[in-house]
Homo-oligomer: A and B are copies of this chain.
Amino acid sequence: MSATVSEQGAARLLRGADHLLIVSHAAPDGDTVGAAFALGRAMQILGKSVRIECSDAIPHRYDYLFSGVKPQQFEPQAVVAVDIADRHLIGERLSAQCKQVLLCIDHHVSNMKYADHTLVDAHAAATCEIVARVIQALGVAFDREIASAVYTGLASDTGCFRYSNTTPATLRCAAAMSEYGADTARINKILFETVSLARLRIESGALASLELLYDGRIAMMTVPLELMKSADACEEELEGIASLPAQIEGVQAGITVKEKQPGFYKISMRTDGSVNASRVCAGLGGGGHPCAAGCEFRGTLDQAKAAIAGLVGKALLQEAP
């Protein structure tokens, strides 16, 4: 059983602990990394021994956070997990060290309460928003490093305050971090205005395949294996690409057909809400959410496109107002 704790409760636990291992989730993003470095620095300011680890390598774009936490070697006595909804998301490399987790700080509604103590706020746009409140409860003064780490999480998980999870509290927290010295313009440039050449080549190639169907209400694009190879792109570089077709004016459903292996396709669907993507993808054995879903298909590319287009078209006729 996990005990639910408040920010004050989490702060009491942390003040009583030392030689802490703070863990970010595998395949780390800006929120889990920002939360670890913000909390890590706050604890080091309190004189605690702290080490930050992640089962996977932390991407180089977050290098600016490393100066905030001194590297320290010691035998961990307690583990704190940040932004980790379930034990298996800790990842393989650290799973043995993280059998017992003292405290989990998280904003996922799906948190599995695997830690001895859990602080979850599903209304927070980012775990960093909660970590900022814990640091306040710890009585540590925010400095530029803590502020930059917290801001990294806020901006990452909200698409720079664009997504609907952004609340007035998120924006006020960002304002405070900016006042505490976070280099917001530089962080935004790193997070949102830097792309790899491979990603641009993939976008260019995929957009060239764009087709509009059903009077422009469906947009479909393909990402063949050949394009991935010629652009020298890895899977990571496809992140978010499936949202492109649905961003076109007037398009109600955007489809992306990605060739995973010859004759095997992954289909992603995004909608403006007027068509239920999850229901459409269920027709091909997939599923997801009303505005974002997916399924798989075996056959030729033309068969894959015809199958999904047929189902989407039918749904448009049935579901449109």
Interface of A with B (CB < 8 Å)? 160-164, 166-169, 171-172, 174-176, 178-179, 184-185, 188, 192-197, 200-201, 203-205, 207-208, 210, 212, 216, 219, 243-244, 247-249
Partner of A196, one of B161, B179, B249: B249
- CA gap between A171 and B179 in the complex, in Å: 11
Binding site secondary structure of chain A: helix
Copies in the complex: 2
Residues of chain B lying within 8 A (CB to CB) of residue A194: 247-249
A176 and B168 contact, Cβ closer than 8 Å, known pairs A160-B160, A160-B162, A212-B197:
yes
What B residues does A210 contact at CB under 8 A? 197, 200-201, 204
Contact B248 A193, beta carbon cutoff 8 Å: no
* Nearest chain B residue, comparing its CB with the CB of A196: B249
B161 near A193 (CB under 8 angstroms)? no
- Give Cα A269–Cα B166 distance, bound, in whole angstroms: 34
Give bound CA distance, A205 to B204, whole Å. Answer: 7
CB distance from A37 to the nearest CB of B (A): 21
In Å, the complex CA distance between A193 and B159 comes to 11
Given contact pairs A194-B249, A200-B244, A184 touches B172 in the complex (Cβ within 8 A)? no
- Can you name 10 A-B residue pairings with CB atoms under 8 Å? A161-B174, A166-B185, A168-B175, A168-B178, A169-B175, A193-B247, A195-B248, A195-B249, A204-B210, A205-B208
A-B CB proximity, top 10 nearest: A204-B207, A164-B185, A171-B175, A168-B175, A162-B188, A168-B178, A171-B171, A172-B175, A161-B161, A168-B179
Check if B162 sits within 8 Å of A200, measured CB to CB. no
Contacts A168-B178, A193-B243 known; 9 new A-B pairs at CB < 8 A: A163-B188, A172-B172, A193-B247, A196-B249, A201-B207, A201-B210, A203-B207, A204-B205, A205-B208
Instruction: Please name all residues of chain B whose beta carbon is closer than 8 Å to the beta carbon of A207 when the two chains form the complex.
Output: 200-201, 203-204
